[in-house]
Amino acid sequence: MDTKVESLVKMFGENALTDIEGNIEPLIKKYFNAEWDTVYQQEFFTKHYELIRGYRKKLDELTGNALNTKEKIIAALSFCWKEANFNKSEATIFYSKMELFHRLVNEMLKNEWTPKQQEHFNTVAVIFRDYHNYFLSYTNHLSQAINQAYKIIYEAILNKEDYSGEDFSKRNLLAKAFHRFLHLKNIRKGFFDLDSIRLAQGIDDKVTANASKSIAFIQLISMASFEYNEPNWSYIEYLTYTKARDVFKQQNDYRSGFSPLLFYVFTEKNALPPESLIPDDYKVWSASTNEKLHCDLTAINTYEDFVKEIERLINAIINYKSEMVNSIPD
């Protein structure tokens, strides 16, 4: 960040907004060692002043009734999550805007919070900024059977033009509808590989990068998921996600609040092979489908049944986000 922009953030973080707006000239002299007339028309000032001012005003509104520092941090992190979830800006623009917000919070609370509280805020704020809310893992292999079984679902959620030209034998429309449904419920900022890069030979960097940078891992499980073939994208994505979480836990001490959130969605009865036919490579993965959160779509008969089942997943994501926000150390 440019040193002049840092000074501007520092000015807004260390002074009340009323003081800045009421008598800015001496503050400009203090933080920039320059006169107001030589600063206010410079590019850094015209580009960032109103944005930082807006963030300071928002923080004052969010923390005005806070009883302690923890409540201020909770309010700031909740804002970070909402900004990320509903962001419409291009990625680099959003990154720059949130970097300003993070710096401003650090300036405002630097004399209040403990080192652990500061670490918690900075860790979680960066996760909300840089990570997907979820990674949707699925397979297109033998998708025609899935599409036939869940026609009532994708026809209820997708527009006809969204699937009328698709090859039903090569495109999993349930996955497409699932992703769309989460957006309808305002669980946004998820990664869904619409372009079927799983058909490529070898591991695509796009898949591994996004699987490792996701808060939740949602996997649609069918009989084709556990077929022992190369490459098995369902397995690769699971492995990438869990390994990334292990690395994260090793790099972040105390309570990172970021243990893996795996959610399995069973789309076919008897999707898992018999125990004796599960390859050793897949043993831990297979076991986790029963140990972790899961829902079963095989018994649904209506769209309403589907909604009720998926609400459990949505609530799990919301609760997980709340835990990350609220688990602030003393």
Domain edges within the chain: 3-130, 132-326
Report the topology of domain 132-326: Rossmann fold (3.40.50)
DSSP-derived 3-state class of residue 250: helix
Is it the case that residue 254 has pLDDT exceeding 60? no
Residue 122: Cβ within 10 Å count: 13
Q: Model confidence at 209, in pLDDT bands (50, 70, 90)?
A: confident
DSSP-derived 3-state class of residue 152: helix
- Distance separating the N- and C-terminal Cα atoms of the chain: 30
d(CA 122, CA 117): 9
pLDDT tens, residue by residue, 115-129: 999 999 999 999 999
| Residues 6+ positions from 240 with CB-CB distance below 8 Å | 207, 208, 211, 212
Q: Which one is predicted more confidently, 291 or 21?
A: 21
H/E stretch holding 33: none
d(CA 1, CA 5): 7
d(CA 244, CA 14): 37
Is the separation of the CB atoms in 105 and 59 below 8 Å?
A: yes
H/E stretch holding 9: helix 3-14
Token pair for 44: 């850094």
Find the mean pLDDT for residues 266-277: 93
Is it the case that residue 201 has pLDDT exceeding 50? no
pLDDT tens, residue by residue, 89-100: 999 999 999 999
Give residue 161's pLDDT. 82
* Three-class secondary structure assignment of 48-78: HHHHHHHHHHHHHHHHCCCCCHHHHHHHHHH
Q: Which residues pair with 191 in a beta bridge?
A: 135
Give residue 249's pLDDT. 75
Rg of the Cα atoms in the chain = 24
The length of the chain, given as a count of residues: 330
Give residue 200's pLDDT. 46
d(CA 263, CA 100): 34
Instruction: Identify which of 107, 90, 91, 113 has the alpha carbon closest to the alpha carbon of residue 52.
Output: 107
Q: Which residues pair with 132 in a beta bridge?
A: 214
Q: Model confidence at 102, in pLDDT bands (50, 70, 90)?
A: very high
DSSP state of 274: P
Instruction: Give CA separation, 307 vs 184, 185, 218, 300, 301, in Å.
Output: 11, 10, 16, 10, 11
DSSP-derived 3-state class of residue 252: coil
d(CA 179, CA 211): 15
Give residue 8's pLDDT. 95
